[in-house]
C-alpha cells in the first residue's frame, strides 16, 4: 500500500481524491490546506482526516507521497518542504514559477533519492495516446505545423478563487496541457516567440469582489521544436471552449490529425485528408481520471522504473513559459536549450 497526503484542498482536490480512491494499492491518509475553514469543509464533505499543519502532515511517517495541489506560487515551498521531509512529491502544474526554481527542485529530489513528478498527465489518456501513435506510425507524414487552441472561458464565472489563475495567466495555468502533450509527442522546443495582452482588465468574482489580471489573459506563442515542427498556440481566459477555434491540429504532408479536446481522455481523434474519426486505443475514460498520473507515478516507484510525468519534462515546460513571458515583454524570440528524457507511450499504446 502506498499512502498519500494531499496538500491543497481547493478547486481540483475533490477530483483528485475521488479518483485516487479507485486505485488498488493507493490510500489517501489525509489532507491539509492553509485555509482551515476550507480544509475542514473538504474533510467533512469527503470523510478525509485533516492535519492541523503542513508540518504535522509531513511528520507522519506513514505518508509516502505528497500530492501538491496548491496554487502555483506555493508549489516551490510546499514541494521543497515535502522533499526535505523524505517524501516523494507529485505536483500540480507548472512545477515552479521560474526555471531556476524548477531546477532547484530537481536537484533537491535527486540529492535525497526521491521521486518528483508533475502534471499535466492528460497525455496519458486514450485520446492523446491514440494521436501520438498515429504520429509515430507516420500516418500523415512528418508533422510540420501544429495549431493548439486553449480557450478556457472567463473562469471567474465558475472558479471559486480565480485570482490565483489570473495572477499566473492562462498560458501558465492551462497552456501547459497542450505544451506538455506536444513536446511529449514531438520533442523539446528550441525557440519561442510570444505576444500577450489583457483583454478584460475588470473582473468580478462569484462573491462580487473586483479584481484585475496580473498577467496577460490572452497569449499567442510560436514555437520551433527540435523535431522540425512549428507550433502556434493561443491561450486565453476570455473565450469559452465551444468555438471553432479549439483542440489541437497536427499537419503533415499527407493530411492532418485532429484532437478535439486537449483534456478529456475520450476526445474524438480524426486523421487523414480530409480528417475522419478513428477508434481510440483502449477503452476511453469519459472525461479526466484525475488520479491517473499519480497512479502511474506510484507504479513506477514500486516497479523501479522511470515515471512518465517527469520533473525534467515539467522543467522544460517552465523554460518555455518563462521564455514566452520574456518574449512578450521584449518582442524578441528567446532560445530554449534544455531537454528531458522522452517519455514512453503506455504499453497498450506502443
> Would you state the pLDDT for residue 242?
81
Instruction: Say if 240 falls within a structural domain.
Output: yes
Q: Is 20 in the same domain as 149?
A: no
Q: With respect to residue 24, please indicate whether it lies within any of the assigned structural domains.
A: yes
Question: What tens digit of pLDDT does each residue of 294-342 get?
Answer: 999 999 999 999 999 999 999 999 999 999 999 999 999 999 999 999 9
Residue 343: pLDDT above 90? yes
Within this chain, do residues 161 and 14 fall inside the same structural domain, yes or no? no
Predicted confidence band of residue 103 (pLDDT cuts 50, 70, 90): very high
Over the stretch 245-272, which tens digit does the pLDDT of each residue have?
899 999 999 999 999 999 999 999 999 9
- Does residue 215 sit within a domain? yes
113 shares its domain with 127: no
* Residue 218 to residue 210: CA distance in whole angstroms: 19
Confidence label for 21 from pLDDT (cuts 50, 70 and 90): very high
Percent helix, percent strand, percent coil in the chain, to nearest 5: 35, 25, 40
* Segment 123-133, tens digit of pLDDT: 999 999 999 99
d(C-alpha 205, C-alpha 37), whole Å: 19
Number of domains in the chain: 2
Q: Which of 60-64, 242-246, 283-287, 310-314 has the lowest mean pLDDT?
A: 242-246
Residue 101: pLDDT above 90? yes
Average pLDDT over residues 55-82: 98
The pLDDT of residue 127 is: 98
Q: Do 69 and 106 sit in the same domain of this protein? A: yes
Over the stretch 191-220, which tens digit does the pLDDT of each residue have?
Answer: 999 999 999 999 999 999 999 999 999 999
What is d(CA 89, CA 109) in angstroms, rounded to the nearest whole number? 9
Which of 118, 143, 177 marks a domain boundary? 118
Long-range interactions of 267-272: CB distance < 8 A, separation 24+ = 267/125, 267/127, 267/128, 268/127, 269/127, 269/130, 269/131, 269/134, 271/134, 271/139, 271/140, 272/140
Residues 148, 18: one domain? no
In CATH, what number is assigned to the domain containing residue 90?
Answer: 3.40.50.720
Do 111 and 135 have their domain in common? Answer: no
The pLDDT value given to residue 310: 98
In the prediction, which pLDDT does 14 show?
98
Q: Is the dihedral of CA 202, 330, 326, 144 positive or negative?
A: positive
Q: Which domain holds residue 9?
A: 2-118
CA distance linking residue 345 with residue 322, whole number of Å:
27
The reported pLDDT for the residue numbered 337 is 97
User: How far is residue 203's CA from residue 335's CA, in Å, rounded to a whole number?
Assistant: 34
pLDDT level of residue 4 (50, 70, 90 thresholds): very high
pLDDT of residue 244: 83
CA distance 119 to 123: 10
The beta strand positions in 87-228, using DSSP E, are 88-91, 116-118, 143-151, 189-197, 203-204, 210-211, 218-225
Mean pLDDT, the chain, rounded, equals: 97
Amino acid at each position: 500500500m502506498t499512502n498519500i497526503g494531499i496538500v491543497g484542498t481547493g478547486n481540483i482536490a475533490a477530483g483528485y481524491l475521488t479518483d485516487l480512491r479507485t486505485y488498488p494499492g493507493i490510500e489517501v491518509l489525509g489532507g491539509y490546506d492553509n485555509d482551515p475553514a476550507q480544509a475542514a469543509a473538504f474533510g467533512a464533505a469527503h470523510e478525509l482526516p485533516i492535519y492541523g499543519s503542513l508540518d504535522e502532515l509531513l511528520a507522519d511517517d506513514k505518508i509516502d507521497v505528497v500530492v501538491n495541489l496548491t496554487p502555483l506560487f506555493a508549489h516551490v515551498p510546499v514541494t521543497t518542504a515535502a522533499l526535505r521531509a523524505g517524501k516523494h512529491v507529485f505536483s500540480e502544474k507548472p512545477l515552479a514559477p521560474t526555471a531556476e526554481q524548477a531546477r532547484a527542485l530537481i536537484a533537491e529530489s535527486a540529492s535525497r533519492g526521491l521521486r518528483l513528478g508533475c502534471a499535466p498527465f492528460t497525455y496519458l489518456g486514450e485520446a492523446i495516446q491514440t494521436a501520438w501513435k498515429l504520429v509515430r506510425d507516420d500516418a500523415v507524414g512528418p508533422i510540420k505545423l501544429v495549431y493548439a487552441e486553449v480557450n478556457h472561458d472567463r473562469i471567474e464565472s465558475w472558479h471559486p478563487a480565480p485570482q490565483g489563475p489570473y495572477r499566473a495567466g492562462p498560458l501558465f495555468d492551462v497552456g501547459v496541457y497542450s505544451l506538455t502533450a506536444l513536446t511529449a509527442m514531438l520533442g523539446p522546443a528550441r525557440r519561442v516567440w510570444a505576444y500577450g495582452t489583457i483583454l478584460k482588465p475588470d473582473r468580478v468574482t462569484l462573491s462580487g469582489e473586483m479584481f484585475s489580471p496580473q498577467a496577460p489573459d490572452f497569449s499567442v506563442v510560436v514555437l520551433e521544436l527540435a523535431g522540425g515542427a512549428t507550433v502556434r498556440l493561443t491561450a486565453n481566459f476570455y473565450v469559452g471552449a465551444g468555438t471553432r477555434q479549439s483542440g489541437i491540429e497536427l499537419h503533415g504532408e499527407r493530411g492532418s490529425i485532429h484532437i478535439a479536446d486537449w483534456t478529456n481522455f475520450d476526445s474524438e481523434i480524426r486523421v487523414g485528408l480530409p480528417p475522419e474519426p478513428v477508434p481510440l486505443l483502449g477503452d476511453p475514460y469519459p472525461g479526466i481520471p484525475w488520479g491517473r498520473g499519480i497512479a502511474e507515478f506510484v507504479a513506477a516507484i514500486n516497479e523501479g522504473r522511470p515515471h512518465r510525468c517527469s520533473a525534467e519534462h515539467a522543467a522544460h515546460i517552465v523554460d518555455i513559459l518563462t521564455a514566452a513571458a520574456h518574449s512578450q515583454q521584449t518582442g524578441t524570440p528567446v532560445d530554449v536549450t534544455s531537454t528531458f528524457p522522452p517519455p514512453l507511450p503506455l504499453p497498450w499504446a506502443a
